[in-house]
Structure 1
């Protein structure tokens, strides 16, 4: 069983997956920073306060009277829909940013592939082809 585990770990795709997870975690921090530090302040300035719905909730018991979600949870059961709305909005912004980043990367790849690809040879003009045929015929007769 230990040998099977060693063989499993030594496979390239497992190591590639581990590297992908590590890179993904680091990339996640970068994207979170872009959203929280660059995009959300601009959105907040435009909308006059941002999209923080985290304290929006509906009390499920009569004795909940607190104005904040944390205090309301201490008093009883609450339906905390505001956190979900905030996470959903952040996800949509995050997905849009990732879409734009991938679009830029794909354009860069396409332009690099165009530079690498050799241009197809254009066929010679008709008069050059005729002259080449005449030359070949003269060589055959001589």
Structure 2
């Protein structure tokens, strides 16, 4: 990422999820524009943490989803992705619904950009299924506030 933009990996990650939540392909593209290889990896790390947090919250609260809703939401949300990732997400979601987790994990090692898109879509889909749009947007703002507080309260001196 360019120093001039002052956007962090958290900004790019959360903006991508928010953009997918609204199904806004232009905003998705803008959220991830200008990332270099390192930044793509950092965005993926942020999204992976947010995905784990989302799943943990779901497990702790006992909230569940209907598989049909997840597949439908995945189709809707992934329509904002670049076409090759839209198709990959549709296939991965259907495989996951059948109990095959391999397609959800496959892109992270081979295609970081694909892993970023698929993880952002996954977070949006789970969040929409669990909390609806306004609830998911609230969670994203809390995550941003927490990340900002951690960065400002514990600057790296190394």
Q: Report the TM-score, using the length of structure 1 for normalisation.
A: 0.28
- Structure of higher CA gyration radius: 1
Where relative contact order (Cα < 8 A, 6+ residues apart) is larger, the structure is 2
